[in-house]
């Protein structure tokens, strides 16, 4: 009676060692797909030697369960990944946000041009003196060094100088913009963060975070 010959093709299963030479580190019931012969031979370490289990007549239930569990783990990992539709929605949202930012930037530049072209109504030459506007808690101080807008209660403020905009908190600079660079001492990104050409964000309603190339 002819016996059946089985050839195993196993891809990306972490519990099975697929290689030409036998694994150096062995543990009980470790699986090794020996690729030194054709068809490949599936073996299991029984504690003292490699037991051939490629023959269907010798395949144990425990070995089969090991393979089934490994395949199931891969399936669960795939199901846990973000669906393609959600990733495409995130990409579309990002592109719309970039387009809006470009429009806002153009509008700001146009407003600045309009301000600079207006006729002068009030001119005050202060030389090295300071101009101070005091409100209830907020004050605006203007000097040759720059303009400072602060609040006495929160001790927070904004200092605008010739080549630097500083964000102050209790007398300490916590962030600044200078030479086309923004530096922040501490930051929390609630929904998403874009670094260069990559974006990291969490899919709404899930605990899945994605890191995508947005060009």
pTM confidence score:
0.46
Domain of residue 56 covers: 16-79
Average pLDDT, the chain: 79
What band does 148 get if pLDDT is binned at 50, 70 and 90?
A: very high
- C-beta separation of 29 from 83 below 8 A: no
Residue 5 has pLDDT above 50, yes or no: no
Is residue 123, in this structure, part of any structural domain at all? no
Higher-pLDDT residue of 119, 170: 170
What band does 169 get if pLDDT is binned at 50, 70 and 90?
A: very high
CA quadruple 50, 51, 55, 58: dihedral, nearest 10: -160
DSSP lists the bridge partners of residue 141 as 132, 148
* Per-residue pLDDT tens digits for 152-166: 888 899 999 999 999
Higher-pLDDT residue of 98, 169: 169
Q: 72 is written with which tokens?
A: 């199931």
What was the pLDDT predicted at 83?
A: 67
What was the pLDDT predicted at 178?
A: 92
The residue-averaged pLDDT of 130-157 equals: 91
Is residue 136, in this structure, part of any structural domain at all? no
C-alpha span between 208 and 193 (Å, rounded):
15
Is residue 2, in this structure, part of any structural domain at all? no
The residue-averaged pLDDT of 25-36 equals: 86
Report how many domains make up the chain.
1
The residue-averaged pLDDT of 35-56 equals: 80
Is residue 74, in this structure, part of any structural domain at all? yes
Residue 26 has pLDDT above 80, yes or no: yes
What was the pLDDT predicted at 13?
A: 38
């Amino acid at each position: 009676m002819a016996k059946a010959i089985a050839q195993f093709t196993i891809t990306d299963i972490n519990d099975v060692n697929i290689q030409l030479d036998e694994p150096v580190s062995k543990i009980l019931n470790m699986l090794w797909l020996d690729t030194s012969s054709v068809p490949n031979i599936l073996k299991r370490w029984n504690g003292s030697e490699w037991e051939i289990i490629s023959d269907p007549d010798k395949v144990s239930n425990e070995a089969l369960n090991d393979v089934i569990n490994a395949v199931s783990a891969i399936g669960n990992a795939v199901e846990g990944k973000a669906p393609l539709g959600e990733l495409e929605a995130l990409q579309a949202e990002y592109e719309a946000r970039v387009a809006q930012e470009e429009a806002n930037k153009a509008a700001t530049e146009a407003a600045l041009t309009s301000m600079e072209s207006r006729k002068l109504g009030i001119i005050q030459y202060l030389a090295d003196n300071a101009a101070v506007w005091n409100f209830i808690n907020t004050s605006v101080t203007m000097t040759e060094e720059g303009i400072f807008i602060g609040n006495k209660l929160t001790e927070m403020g904004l200092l605008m100088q010739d080549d630097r905009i500083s964000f102050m908190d209790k007398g300490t600079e916590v962030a600044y913009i200078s030479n086309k660079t923004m530096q922040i001492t501490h930051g929390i990104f609630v929904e998403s963060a874009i670094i260069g050409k990559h974006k990291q964000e969490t899919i709404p309603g899930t605990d899945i975070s994605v890191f995508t190339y947005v060009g």
